[in-house]
A and B are shown apart, each in its own frame.
Chain A
Amino acid sequence: MTLQNYLVVAALLFLIGVFGALTRRNIIGILMSIELMFNAANLNLAAFDRFLHPGGVAGQTLALFTIAVAAAEIVVGLALLLAIYRNTDTVYAEDFNLLKG
């Protein structure tokens, strides 16, 4: 398989994630779409590492850092979501208007 195949798959995964983050009403759906975008970026890093930098592992190490940061992000995001749900009693992003005063 050529590098182009992997880049096309990662681009499609990223676009699906962008579409989900823009259109889902449910805030958990938006968080899941963001995870898809992270994975597309990681796939690109691993593919470039394999095809353009044989013998090197810098891209894979960067992908590992991304995985760690993404795990921290989803944990804090879900905890914030629980706190918001306790105040507003809804999971739909358009109803999160606590800051309107």
Chain B
Amino acid sequence: MLTPIAFYALSGLTLLSALAVVLHRNTVHSSLFLGLSLAGVAGLYAMLGADFLFAAQVMVYVSGVAVLVMFVVMLLGRASDLHLRQVNEYWLAALIVCAIASVGLFKVAAGFSGMYAPGPAAPTTRAIGGLLLGEDLVPFELISLVLIAALLGAVFFARGEEAEGGR
């Protein structure tokens, strides 16, 4: 009874905000809608019973990536950008590509049409922790290396020329 209402509300929020991200002329508004769209995806994770994924999505995407993008949007660009076209001249070709891809994607989705969830959702955080420190230990440690490399790379690329000369 309540589940379809919640599902359609969260899907509508996600998809309409995603459309606003893609189509809005003002990049600051786009980045705000990005945060809203990612929050809608977090709600869909909660509906799927993925509680740890929900928490990770809120912490990493909604409060990390969206805020970071917002900072960069406000650092770059100028006021005259608001009067420029933000979409290039290939929008019709892109629309055709999306239409063709949608045929295949919807055909795959239609194959799963009468499939309901088996039983109620249960908390999964404990099982994820066991998997990360057991079977998936090597990828888990490699991810920390990737994050350190990203940190060093970000500092290296974002550092200005004058900071190099000052040393």
- In this complex, how many residues of chain A approach chain B with their Cβ under 8 Å: the count is 69
Number of CB contacts from chain A to chain B under 8 A? 235
B166 to chain A: closest CB distance in Å?
A: 16
- On chain B, the residues within 8 Å of A91 by CB distance are 76-77, 81
Known: A72-B146, A76-B150. A23 touches B91 (CB 8 A): yes
In whole angstroms, what is the CA distance A91 to B48 when docked? Answer: 38
A31 to chain B: closest CB distance in Å?
A: 7
In whole angstroms, what is the CA distance A18 to B106 when docked? Answer: 16
Q: Does B1 contact A (CB under 8 A)?
A: no
B interface footprint on A32-59 (CB within 8 Å = 1, 0 otherwise): 1101100100110011011100111110
| Interchain CB contact under 8 A, B154 and A50 | no
| Interchain CB contact under 8 A, B11 and A9 | yes
CB neighbors of A among B59-88 (8 A): 60-61, 64-65, 68-69, 72-73, 75-77, 81, 84-88
- On chain B, the residues within 8 Å of A65 by CB distance are 139, 143
CB neighbors of A among B87-105 (8 A): 87-88, 90-91, 93-95, 97-98, 101-102, 105
- On chain B, the residues within 8 Å of A11 by CB distance are 102, 105-106, 109
In whole angstroms, what is the CA distance A2 to B155 when docked? Answer: 45
In whole angstroms, what is the CA distance A78 to B150 when docked? Answer: 11
- On chain A, the residues within 8 Å of B22 by CB distance are 16-17, 19-20, 23-24, 29, 33, 36
- On chain A, the residues within 8 Å of B158 by CB distance are 79, 82-83
Interface hub of B14, B52, B60 (most chain A Cβ within 10 A)? B14
| Residues of B bordering A, CB below 8 Å | 3-4, 7, 11, 14-15, 18-19, 21-22, 27, 30-31, 34, 37-38, 41, 44-45, 47-50, 52-53, 56-57, 60-61, 64-65, 68-69, 72-73, 75-77, 81, 84-88, 90-91, 93-95, 97-98, 101-102, 105-106, 108-110, 112-119, 121-122, 124, 127-128, 131-132, 136, 139, 143, 146-147, 149-151, 153-158, 160-161
Can you name 25 A-B residue pairings with CB atoms under 8 Å? A1-B7, A1-B47, A2-B113, A5-B7, A6-B48, A7-B109, A7-B112, A11-B105, A16-B15, A19-B95, A26-B27, A33-B21, A35-B69, A39-B37, A42-B53, A57-B127, A61-B132, A64-B56, A72-B146, A75-B154, A76-B153, A79-B153, A82-B157, A82-B158, A86-B160
